[in-house]
Structure 1
Amino acid sequence: MADYLPLPETHRVLQLTSIVEPLQLKTAPTPQSGPGSVVARVLAASVLSYSGDIYNGQRQYPFPQPFVPGASAIGRIVTLGPDATTLIPGQLVFLDCTIRGRDNPTGAMILSGIIEGFTEASRKLMHGEWRDSTYAEYTKFPLENCIPLDEQRLLGPVNAGGLGYCVEDLLHISRLLVPYGGLDDIELKPGETIVIAPATGPFGSAAVRVALAMGAGRVVAMGRNETALHRLCALDSRIFTVQITGNEQAETEALKRHGPIDVFFDISPPMAVDSTHLKSVIAVLKHGGRISLMGGVRGDLSFPYAAFMQRNLSMKGTFMFSREQILSFVKLIQSGLLPLGEKGGLSVGGKFGLEKWEEAFEEARVAGTGEVVAIVP
């Protein structure tokens, strides 16, 4: 555990004052911890591929103005509220941006630094105590959103029993966690065959890696980009591919060649409302097959009612993940079963200071599916 310094009176932050103006680097009073919270030194914060579109208003995400943007991050605890019982100063933690109302966890949820949600309860969280996020030298976060990390295991040298990662490698946790929530909810079991579609985007390719780590016997990756599908195959001999062509019958026949399908994980983007893969995969699910929905499809979809009933199919929607799933997932990472870095085909696309935020956003926009981009305050 590294040494840490006491809190300074002020710190540097990136502040969004208006969606029609660029972010501004400012000096602000350093946040103070109180009951239920910690203040952490931000070591590295994630940059989403569409961060630029969030903060220029193109995605029309609601958030208070002004505020400090951000996302999930890796930090080191500096001060704690008086009710902390296990966390200690100097500890390395994963800062989970999914903040929930303690008295209303299902009805009040925000993504810190990204979106305030769509209920009055969730807006209260982001317009009040949790307004500012991680694009800053220091951040205040809820105790329950600070997930302890085994620093010696994760960052220690391989010859001393560590995994040899750098801090920025750990930002992959935030992306891999998303599909883990859905796969855990439908109880993917070792040896099962799973179809993941589309598998060529950042979260779809993450789902492929997570499914392998959870013991899937066969992962069938679907997508339109044949080159990206080919790259996925190089990760593991258990990965097979089927291209999404728009021909439902051809896709169905191609999927049949991979044997009985136990699980279907869908993470379709908004424009996939009419994609043929949804029906082609459902058509080949075995009796008792399970479906996880984690995509962003906007609009209503039809499904084969009789097939669901006759084959005992089940479908579950999952948004993000629970704290219990984060704790379980961190164990998976620390075990080495889900490798980060070069061994896992993952990399750090770039590290940028707060003043280089425009370069960071651009790098994230063009980064490959296995790359993370970090803001390093």
Structure 2
Amino acid sequence: MSEVQSTSQALPKDYLALFQEEPAARLTLRRLPVPEAVAGSVVIRVLAALILTYAREIYNGERKYYYPTPYVPGASAVGRVVAVGPDATKLSAGDLVIADATIRGRDDPEAIFLSGIHGGYSEGARKLSQGMWRNSTFAEYARMPMESCTRLNESRLLGSPQDGGLGLEVADLAFIQTAMIPFGGLRDINLRAGERIIICPATGNFGGAAVMVALAMGASVIAMGRNTEVLAKLKELGKGRVDTIQLSGNAEDDEKALQSYGGVDAYFDISPPQAASSSHFRSCILALKPRGRVSLMGGMMREQGFPCSVVVHNQITLRGKWMAEANDITPFLQLVEAQMLTLGEKGGVTVRGKFGLKDWQEAFDRAAANAQPGDLTVFTP
């Protein structure tokens, strides 16, 4: 009898999951058959599933995201492998893993969808999201692509400091996915130690994570946003390597404040849709040195005007990036294991709530109310 078969025999026949019949419909609890670990997949016992700060807006239809229904919603999660497909060569039952919600086609890496969140933009992505990966991680168990699951150094991350560990809790590890997304963009523009980067807006969940990651990569940061209280916290977190600018809403004033730094190496933007009318995009580009680089990862859905002549004559590089890639995961985890990026309370990361699946409404509300840098809300099914 194979290991997969013997492992699967120990599993229950069904599991509890959040379920949505159609877009914007009220979520319900449902019992579903535990999936089989077929070739190319693993089954995990979900330990901590990340709840996005805007999860409520996704599933109530406020954000017009496409995703296939009926289905189990979800996001990236920390889990314990309970079964592996017959072609597994590294992962095995018992491994602690981070299961990345970004799923790519094996025969077309540009066919990308976000498990439990967004069905993607291409025909290939939507086909992929409607198939065997339809159900996500707001559940007790989940089947995930093998290549989306990365084994974590459990003894280092969760072990006691006396034994050489970092003393983290499983829920703390859910922040890996929040921080890994901006890491993908910062790595894409080759941010280097000693450089100065503008991060705007910096006072939200992903923008604040970008500040933390840029500092871990050795850069200094100009953090911009409207919330002065959060900006002050980021400045304190930076220990002398974070300067802050409060967005004024006046493009000329923002440009003047930025240009006082005498030229900046790079600019990272992960603006939410609500920032579509902000003038900061132009102001930040004008503050860049010749050959400056820009990483755009935001959700602004309308066109942004930019100073074309400045981009051309100063040879500015603009790069769009949607999520991190598989080759970003290992170097990111190295930052965490080396404590260059500190998770947990010491690193400014606070678990604001751990919720069971039945309390999903309260969980979504808690996540929405705690959307500042380092805030973390999870399901622990």
Quick one: distance in 1 between partners of 2:97 and 2:74?
A: 16
Secondary structure in 2 aligned to 1:231? helix
Is 1:9 the counterpart of 2:13? The answer is yes
Alpha-carbon displacement from aligned partner over 1:295-317 (angstroms, at most 9, x marks no partner): 11222223222222222211111
Q: 1:5 to 1:332 in 2, by over 3 A?
A: farther
Which region of structure 1 is more displaced relative to structure 2, 44-53 or 14-23?
A: 14-23
Secondary structure in 2 aligned to 1:163? coil
Alignment correspondent of 2:247: 244
Quick one: distance in 1 between partners of 2:355 and 2:361?
A: 9
What is the total number of aligned residue pairs between the two structures? 373
Amino acid at match of 1:145: S
Alpha-carbon displacement from aligned partner over 1:49-89 (angstroms, at most 9, x marks no partner): 11112112221222222111110000011111111111111
Q: 1:167 aligns with which of 165, 170, 179?
A: 170
Quick one: distance in 1 between partners of 2:12 and 2:360?
A: 23
Q: Identity rate of aligned residues, in percent?
A: 48
Q: 1:311 to 1:334 in 2, by over 3 A?
A: same
Quick one: distance in 2 between partners of 1:172 and 1:17?
A: 29
Alignment correspondent of 1:45: 49
Quick one: distance in 1 between partners of 2:32 and 2:298?
A: 37
For structure 1, the residue ranges without an aligned partner over 5 or more in a row are none
Quick one: distance in 1 between partners of 2:205 and 2:24?
A: 28
Quick one: distance in 1 between partners of 2:281 and 2:17?
A: 43
Quick one: distance in 1 between partners of 2:50 and 2:79?
A: 12
Alpha-carbon displacement from aligned partner over 1:198-250 (angstroms, at most 9, x marks no partner): 1011111110000000000x210011122221121110221111111122222
Q: 1:100 to 1:306 in 2, by over 3 A?
A: same
Quick one: distance in 1 between partners of 2:322 and 2:43?
A: 27
Deviation at 1:5, TM superposition (A): 9.1
CA contact (8 A) 2:25 2:59 kept: no
Quick one: distance in 1 between partners of 2:286 and 2:46?
A: 47
Is 1:34 the counterpart of 2:43? The answer is no
- 5 Å-filtered alignment, 1:273-284, equals 273-284=276-287
Deviation at 1:113, TM superposition (A): 0.8
Alignment correspondent of 1:289: 292
Secondary structure in 2 aligned to 1:171? helix
Is 1:94 the counterpart of 2:98? The answer is yes
Normalised to the residue count of structure 1, the TM-score between the two structures is: 0.95
Quick one: distance in 1 between partners of 2:151 and 2:266?
A: 31
Q: 2:70 aligns with which of 46, 50, 66?
A: 66
Which region of structure 1 is more displaced relative to structure 2, 233-242 or 55-64?
A: 55-64
Amino acid at match of 1:56: N
Alignment correspondent of 2:301: 298
Is 1:189 the counterpart of 2:192? The answer is yes
CA contact (8 A) 1:101 1:122 kept: yes
CA contact (8 A) 1:51 1:361 kept: yes
Alpha-carbon displacement from aligned partner over 1:316-356 (angstroms, at most 9, x marks no partner): 11110110001221121111110011111111011111111
Is 1:375 the counterpart of 2:379? The answer is yes
Quick one: distance in 1 between partners of 2:161 and 2:377?
A: 24
Amino acid at match of 2:13: E
Alignment correspondent of 1:23: 27
Amino acid at match of 1:144: E
Alpha-carbon displacement from aligned partner over 1:6-29 (angstroms, at most 9, x marks no partner): 211111111111345421112111
Q: 1:187 to 1:20 in 2, by over 3 A?
A: closer
Alignment correspondent of 2:159: 156
Quick one: distance in 1 between partners of 2:38 and 2:371?
A: 40
Amino acid at match of 2:114: L
Alignment correspondent of 2:266: 263
CA contact (8 A) 1:244 1:276 kept: no
Quick one: distance in 2 between partners of 1:339 and 1:282?
A: 30
Normalised to the residue count of structure 2, the TM-score between the two structures is: 0.94
Alpha-carbon displacement from aligned partner over 1:24-53 (angstroms, at most 9, x marks no partner): 112111111010001111111011111112
Is 1:85 the counterpart of 2:96? The answer is no
Quick one: distance in 2 between partners of 1:297 and 1:371?
A: 22
Which region of structure 1 is more displaced relative to structure 2, 250-259 or 326-335?
A: 250-259
Quick one: distance in 2 between partners of 1:281 and 1:368?
A: 24
- 5 Å-filtered alignment, 1:349-364, equals 349-364=352-367
Is 1:325 the counterpart of 2:331? The answer is no
Quick one: distance in 1 between partners of 2:285 and 2:23?
A: 42
Alignment correspondent of 2:3: none
CA contact (8 A) 1:4 1:90 kept: no
Quick one: distance in 2 between partners of 1:123 and 1:287?
A: 40
For structure 2, the residue ranges without an aligned partner over 5 or more in a row are 1-6
- Two-structure CA RMSD over aligned residues (Å): 1.6
Quick one: distance in 2 between partners of 1:250 and 1:60?
A: 34
CA contact (8 A) 1:5 1:78 kept: no
Deviation at 1:4, TM superposition (A): 11
Q: 1:347 aligns with which of 350, 361, 377?
A: 350
